[in-house]
Structure 1
Amino acid sequence: MIIEIFFTKMLPGELLGSFSCELFSINMRDFIAIKYISLPKKPALNNVLIFTSRNAVKGFCQNFSAEILRGKKIFVVGDQTAFLLEKLGVKVTIQKDYARDFSLLNKDELPKGPYDWFCGTRSLDHIADSLKGCSLNRYEVYHTSLCPYALPGSYQAIIFFSPSAVISFFRKNSISQNTCYFAIGKTTSEALSSAGVYEVFSPEKPSAISLIQLIKKYFHATK
């Protein structure tokens, strides 16, 4: 029996190549759309910059030269965010899997602020909560639009990569008791739980590769 899987984000072929065509049928669609924002007034940047996603880095580069990042202290959330900055020749100072992890840093690990945080219009306040008491400037450099779509059929698994995609998905779809729900990390998993999903599977490490490995392991284990 073929296992039908639906990804709520378009993924490159190299990530999906490890799925056996004899065992899995893969469908994908973007449930959110990203549009980068041009800041009306370019601020003078402080010494510490925070990026909570790849899109935040791309949005920053729509407004500033990447050269400005060199010599700054750079805080990031996620492997892919760090990887993109490193491709630009920028050294990352502190990397965490989740924005809330910054609250675990000792005060002596945090350089003196103020901090400049680059994010999206739908970004959660976890950075602000983690750095409470610090001077923090928030700059929204990309806009996230919801792209709801009603699935035409049923799937054994539906995969999510962001809380915004969860919101978008359930605008036109309901929870199915015969479907397994997978999330890339804790924040997306919490969004699914808030939507009413009873059980959510997510990898220990929030990355697309870890998530795909978990999906394959789960279905091979349940065959």
Structure 2
Amino acid sequence: MSNDKYRILSTRHLTDSSIAVAAENGILIEVKDFIQIKPVTLPALKGTTPGWNNTYTSNIFQAPNVSVFTSANAINVLEQHYFSIGSDRKNGLFTFFLRDHANICCISGKTLQKAREVFPDCNILASSPYGSELAAAIIALGNISEVNFYCGNQRREELPSTLKQAGIRVNEFVIYENIPAPEVTTTDYDGVLFFSPSAVKSYLSTNRLPGKTVCFAIGRTTATALGEYTDNKIIMSTNISEDALVQTAIFYFNNINCYE
């Protein structure tokens, strides 16, 4: 017999460890991806040299160039679809050499973690939880005149707009698309985990939230998007990471009387 007291839905893939921790605290998490990531191939970014089609891609990540990321999805797409040279992908010696000591400015949490994984020995010049704050941190460095911004087709305007207003040139590379993957759910969940405004829109395009369902948002931007669609209780995680959002849900349901 299950000991689960609460059932919640995650609108994005979670690690097995996060699901296990929730289960240990009496919470069953079901996962349904409401957003699909579709890579976009940019010929200009991949280069044109036969047999070495990612030489240009790797070179533009070398210092003094500055790379900006506001989503781990962009780094995943670069790693899986741009940083490969046929059979050399297995050992990655060539691509890792050219990505060594990259200058990076990125969102904290999962994006920062992925940046450190994909770009060995990178220099993290600036990191902040939100795009507007990241832009301010980049400007505050005082020595950045141009950045390469890797993003998706649903990226927000705050970061590039703020940088441009400060006189910083932004070379924007849209390397993936956020594709809504709405699905009707028939379960009355006690809570739903949301990781992005696009997931909010996708989920609520086909589902109505029961009045008792609590919405958990990974950050301020997602919480704001939820407020535009529902009057249900919205609780924002203390940090923009998967672990923080799951722990926020665990704390809420373990201390539910404190929220009444």
TM-score computed with the length of structure 2 as normaliser? 0.78
1:14 to 14, 17, 41: 17
2:226 to 179, 192, 201: 192
Aligned length: 223
Which position in structure 2 is the counterpart of 1:166?
Answer: 200
1:50 to 68, 79, 88: 68
Output the CA distance in 2 between the equivalents of 1:114 and 1:53. Answer: 19
Q: Is the 8 A contact 2:14 2:242 kept in 1?
A: no
Which position in structure 2 is the counterpart of 1:132?
Answer: 164
More helix by share: 2
Unaligned runs of 5+ in 2: 48-55, 84-94
Alignment of 1:1-223 (within 5 A): 2-20=5-23, 23-42=26-45, 45=60, 47-61=65-79, 62-64=81-83, 65-88=95-118, 89=120, 90-105=122-137, 107-133=139-165, 134-222=168-256
- Per-residue deviation at 1:165? 0.6
Q: Is the 8 A contact 1:39 1:63 kept in 2?
A: no
Distance 1:68 1:50, change over 3 A: farther
Deviation per CA, 1:169-216, whole angstroms, max 9, x where unpaired?
A: 011012321110001111111111122345311122111111111111
TM-score computed with the length of structure 1 as normaliser? 0.90
Structure 1 stretches of 4+ with a deviation exceeding 6 A read: none
Secondary structure of the equivalent of 2:244? Answer: helix
- Per-residue deviation at 1:17? 1.2
Identify the range of structure 1 (42-51 vs 204-213) with the bigger mean alpha-carbon deviation: 42-51
Radius of gyration: which is bigger? Answer: 2
Q: Is the 8 A contact 1:116 1:136 kept in 2?
A: yes
- Per-residue deviation at 1:12? 1.7
Two-structure CA RMSD over aligned residues (Å): 2.1
Secondary structure of the equivalent of 1:74? Answer: strand
Identify the range of structure 1 (83-92 vs 51-60) with the bigger mean alpha-carbon deviation: 83-92
User: What residue identity is the alignment partner of 1:19?
Assistant: A
Output the CA distance in 2 between the equivalents of 1:22 and 1:112. Answer: 47
Distance 1:24 1:108, change over 3 A: closer
Q: Is the 8 A contact 2:147 2:169 kept in 1?
A: yes
Q: Is the 8 A contact 2:105 2:134 kept in 1?
A: no
Q: Is the 8 A contact 2:191 2:213 kept in 1?
A: yes
Secondary structure of the equivalent of 1:174? Answer: coil
Percent identity over the alignment is 24
Unaligned runs of 5+ in 1: none
